[in-house]
Amino acid sequence: MKLKKWFYMLRSLLSAYWTVKTGDIPPMELSELIKILTIEEQNAIKELVDFKSDKNEHFTWIPTEAMQHLVIFLWQETNIHLTKRTVPDNDILNNWFRNKLDETDY
């Protein structure tokens, strides 16, 4: 598989794992996102980031056994139903925004 696509998948699964484990919005930086993992897993991902640094976006790669296990683990840990959050009524903000748009000169 393309190494770049592997990172897309890994980042998505890490973000989902972060949300499931913390209930918070995941960080954007991979270096922060991986802090939820074990030191060994963090180091493996850092090594993979270093490895990727001089590869082009079409570089194909066979995931190591450790990376395959990590992805399977993340998938299993995030394959759950989260409780539905209450969403605040945003009509007030939408109406305010529409009024501001109407006030502008074209």
Question: What does the pLDDT profile of the chain (106 residues) look like in tens digits?
Answer: 999 999 999 999 999 999 999 988 999 999 999 999 999 999 999 999 999 999 998 999 999 999 999 999 999 998 877 677 777 788 888 888 888 888 876 6
Q: What is the pTM of this model?
A: 0.74
Among residues 39, 21, 8, the alpha carbon closest in space to that of 78 is found at 21
As given in the structure block, the two tokens for residue 21 are 């484990």
d(CA 20, CA 93) in angstroms, rounded, equals 29
Among residues 84, 63, 83, the alpha carbon closest in space to that of 74 is found at 63
Find the largest Cα–Cα distance for the chain: 61
d(CA 49, CA 42) in angstroms, rounded, equals 11
The pLDDT score that the predictor gives to residue 82 is 66
The pLDDT score that the predictor gives to residue 106 is 61
The pLDDT score that the predictor gives to residue 72 is 94
Among residues 60, 97, 77, the alpha carbon closest in space to that of 14 is found at 77
**Total residues belonging to the chain:** 106
Among residues 45, 39, 40, the alpha carbon closest in space to that of 11 is found at 45
Residue type, 63: P
